[in-house]
Structure 1
Amino acid sequence: MSLLVNFHISITGKLLMMRYRSYLITFLSICIVFGAWEIAGRIPVSYAFPTFTETIAAFWALLIKGTLFVAYFETLKPLVVGVLISAFVGIGIGLAIGLSRMSDWLLSPIFVVMQTAPLAALIPLLIMIYGIGLTSKVAVVLIMAMPVIVLNTGSAVSNTPASMVEMARSFQGSKRDIIFKIILPAASPIIFAGLRLGVSAGFIGAVLAELKITPTGVGDIITFSRSIADYPSMYAAIMSIILLAVIFLQVLERMEILLFKGRGRGHASEE
């Protein structure tokens, strides 16, 4: 009995050490990046490149004044709408592409073209069609986010192990059961990887829309700060975008764990 207890304590201790080691490595990598940033700003690499401490000071100033909150109220509108539409519609289209060869032939080329098209060249066309309001900004987010989600979902669904599908059919599983209990759990890692990439692309699209269509939200802070040579505030706004994107991605990762916890989630390519 004592041997089992000691073995359990040993395994638990090793797991905790591995977890803390990963946290320590992450912390050290962050310190290296920010330390290099501080050194590069003090050399200086460029007069337009502030130090990390100056950027943090500007970031807190924007927070205290409430400027960032007001800016993100505008930026998050097209981002949230675009990402939600991309997620729900994109996963639905990806399912159709993965389950039907005809849908694959009809729809896949459209999203491949969307993914490879130069967005900066399409923005003037979107402005001509939808104007300079919310609709055109949502369209930019959709063009950036949806192709990644659709193509990843389609690839994941089409690569679901045929043996698992055949087993479900042999047990008289309905098509709905096969999709929701076999295909989606098996394809979930690649689908959620596509969602994370789509969210990242959506952030890029939202900020690009604000810079190229109308300077509102965080894009307005970046444009205005650059125009008056307030580079710490400009970099603080850019850093806030990165921080928010990381938070969004962590939330998606937690959602994936909660949704498929205990459901035998596996890789779509596993045999």
Structure 2
Amino acid sequence: MVVLLVVPIYMVIQYSFFDNVIINDNPVFVGFQNFQELLTNESFWVAVKNTLIFVGGSVIAHMIIGITFAMVLNTKYIGPKLQAMFRVIFSLPWMFTAAVIAVLWKMLLNPNGFINFLLVELNLSSTNLEWLASRDLALFSVTMINIWAGYPLFMISILAGLQGIQSQLYESSAIDGANHIKNFFYITLPQLKPILISLILLDFVWTIQQFALIWMTTGGGPIDATEILSTFIYKQGFSEYQYAMASTSAVILLVICTIVAIFYVRHQRGQE
């Protein structure tokens, strides 16, 4: 833990206050100058904006789709065998690695791929769309891919929560004349609240650090249409060799994730 976690974090924080680090034997202490330069960097704010859209869209969609599929699988109208089959099918995206997901969706979203074929056949589009090569569609496309890849975690966790809700609560509400909508908002959601808060906080941290999926599909492009903080940090360090700026960006990301982690720990303690 010390060698692989504590020491690297300390070094990155240290690098953020210096210039000419790693590739120079005489680093220069510049204080908060790197942070000032970064916060006036237009590319950094583009990455921040794209990250907010990517993370916000992913987390919200994960929650909505996860709740929907979990409730479908928890309904009494589907038999045990059919439920088992659907659980396997709905969980498949979570079993794939980022590399498999990237290759799969690059083929599906290819201009001559299945998605465009389907849209043209259904008369929903007159031309083959450049899903991953268009500045207008690329961010939307990678967000949809990430949503598809991540919703099973919510679905499985919420399904476990639904099965832990006492049936007497619904029976009592039925006696009082409550319908399914009222049951959802006054029984299901309040009972799922602890699980949902934990999932949202964890998903936020995982999604804001997403790198492999973006890098293997668009590489942050076209131009900077899908540039998020993780790809921005990588390019600063390993493409432009600006290790001080990369460290500064990483420190800012670390602070954001630490704040969310603090909220998560406090929430867990509150549950106990």
Give your verdict on TM over 0.5: yes
The Cα of 1:204 is off from its aligned counterpart by 3.4
The Cα of 1:173 is off from its aligned counterpart by 2.8
**Does the CA-based 8 Å contact 2:205-2:257 persist in structure 1?**
yes
Inter-partner Cα distance in structure 1 for 2:236 and 2:9: 27
The Cα of 1:142 is off from its aligned counterpart by 0.9
Inter-partner Cα distance in structure 1 for 2:84 and 2:169: 25
The Cα of 1:137 is off from its aligned counterpart by 1.0
Q: Which amino acid aligns with 2:157?
A: N
Q: Does 1:108 align with 2:108?
A: no
The Cα of 1:113 is off from its aligned counterpart by 2.1
Deviations 1:86-115 (A, max 9, x none): 222222222222334737434321343221
SS class of match (1:214): coil
Q: Which amino acid aligns with 2:198?
A: A
Pair 1:119–1:171, CA change in 2 (3 A): same
Pair 1:37–1:246, CA change in 2 (3 A): closer
Pair 1:129–1:56, CA change in 2 (3 A): farther
Inter-partner Cα distance in structure 2 for 1:81 and 1:124: 22
Q: Whose RCO is larger (CA < 8 A, sep 6+)?
A: 2
Structure-to-structure mapping, 1:235-246, within 5 angstroms: 235-245=247-257
RMSD between aligned residues: 4.0
Q: Does 1:121 align with 2:100?
A: yes
Residue 244 of structure 2 is matched in structure 1 by: 232
Pair 1:115–1:250, CA change in 2 (3 A): same
The Cα of 1:151 is off from its aligned counterpart by 1.4
Give TM-score, length-normalised by structure 1: 0.64
Give TM-score, length-normalised by structure 2: 0.64
The Cα of 1:135 is off from its aligned counterpart by 3.9
**Does the CA-based 8 Å contact 1:149-1:198 persist in structure 2?**
no
Deviations 1:132-187 (A, max 9, x none): 22243113321443122111111111210223223323333323222221122112
Pair 1:70–1:80, CA change in 2 (3 A): same
Pair 1:151–1:82, CA change in 2 (3 A): same
The Cα of 1:68 is off from its aligned counterpart by 2.1
**Does the CA-based 8 Å contact 1:153-1:190 persist in structure 2?**
yes
Q: Which amino acid aligns with 2:10?
A: W
Q: Which amino acid aligns with 1:226?
A: F
Q: Does 1:201 align with 2:212?
A: no
Deviations 1:213-233 (A, max 9, x none): 222423134224322322222
Pair 1:137–1:203, CA change in 2 (3 A): same
The Cα of 1:37 is off from its aligned counterpart by 0.6
Question: Gaps (5+ residues) in structure 1?
Answer: 1-32, 257-265
Out of 64, 73, 92, the position equivalent to 2:40 is: 64
Structure-to-structure mapping, 1:94-243, within 5 angstroms: 94-100=70-76, 102=78, 104-130=83-109, 131-132=131-132, 133-205=138-210, 207-212=211-216, 213-215=218-220, 216=224, 217=227, 218=229, 219-243=231-255
Inter-partner Cα distance in structure 1 for 2:12 and 2:40: 27
Pair 1:135–1:67, CA change in 2 (3 A): closer
Q: Does 1:77 align with 2:53?
A: yes
Pair 1:36–1:210, CA change in 2 (3 A): closer
Paired residues in the alignment total 221
| Higher relative helix content | 1
Inter-partner Cα distance in structure 2 for 1:74 and 1:40: 24
Pair 1:232–1:210, CA change in 2 (3 A): farther
Inter-partner Cα distance in structure 2 for 1:100 and 1:56: 60
**Does the CA-based 8 Å contact 2:58-2:144 persist in structure 1?**
yes
Inter-partner Cα distance in structure 2 for 1:197 and 1:161: 26
